[in-house]
Chains A and B, each alone.
Chain A
Amino acid sequence: AQSVSQHNHHVILSEAASLELGCNYSYGGTVNLFWYVQYPGQHLQLLLKYFSGDPLVKGIKGFEAEFIKSKFSFNLRKPSVQWSDTAEYFCAVNDQGGKLIFGQGTELSVKP
């Protein structure tokens, strides 16, 4: 069965620092990959997605993610974080049945 692992549970950064959040999945077949963000007190929103094509995907608010098939990874990056990026970030991958499986989430705290 598909599983998704986010290794960083809580990341604390200062403003302008660079960000990389790890995401690894287990199923080696064709995958669709997503990053969702949940701002404090709000619902989840789509940040970016990868279905096929260029493995470097750009999303909203300056975020990007790179799909590395050989490493079963889809890490999220941002060159310079802002206080407003404080949120919880979820990686998600489709399973063999087409349903979406979420990682445990990474809480990002950005200090002003």
Chain B
Amino acid sequence: DAGITQSPRHKVTETGTPVTLRCHQTENHRYMYWYRQDPGHGLRLIHYSYGVKDTDKGEVSDGYSVSRSKTEDFLLTLESATSSQTSVYFCAISERSSGDSPLHFGNGTRLTVT
């Protein structure tokens, strides 16, 4: 398995609080992604990064921000958590753009917003 660590693995938080999820990789891959997984929706891209300090929005980016100050770390922040952000969040990495090379996924973070 690719060296991808997500933290925390589980998080329960209250509506309105900020939350930061961390993804750490040891593969030195250029591309990193944050997806959320919800029943009936599959995986939806939140944000992605194509290099240090280079990020872009995915299809469901509202309410989320990201930062990538080092190759190995990609942070996802929920500025003010809402119940609709209760989900399982997966980080993924790839050597090239995700359409051109396979994604390797982390083990996920289960976030519950009460």
Give the size range of A's interface with the partner: 20 to 34
Looking at the assembled complex, report how far the CB atom of A26 sits from the nearest CB atom of chain B, in whole angstroms.
14
**Number of B residues with CB within 8 Å of any CB on chain A:** 22
Chain A contact residues, CB within 8 Å of chain B: 4, 6, 9, 32, 34, 36, 42-46, 49, 51, 90, 94-95, 97-105
Q: Is A43's CB under 8 angstroms from B98's CB?
A: no
Q: Is A43's CB under 8 angstroms from B90's CB?
A: yes
Q: Is B105's CB under 8 angstroms from A44's CB?
A: yes
CA–CA, A7 to B27, complex, Å? 35
Q: If the complex has contacts A44-B43, A44-B90, A90-B42, are A100 and B98 also in contact, measured as CB distance less than 8 A? A: yes
Which among B41, B44, B102, B108 has the greatest number of chain A C-beta atoms within 10 A?
B102
Which chain B residues numbered 61 to 102 have a C-beta less than 8 Å away from chain A?
90, 92, 97-100, 102
Q: Is B99's CB under 8 angstroms from A98's CB?
A: yes
Contacts of A32 in B (CB 8 A): 99-100
Q: If the complex has contacts A90-B42, A99-B48, A104-B41, are A34 and B97 also in contact, measured as CB distance less than 8 A? A: no
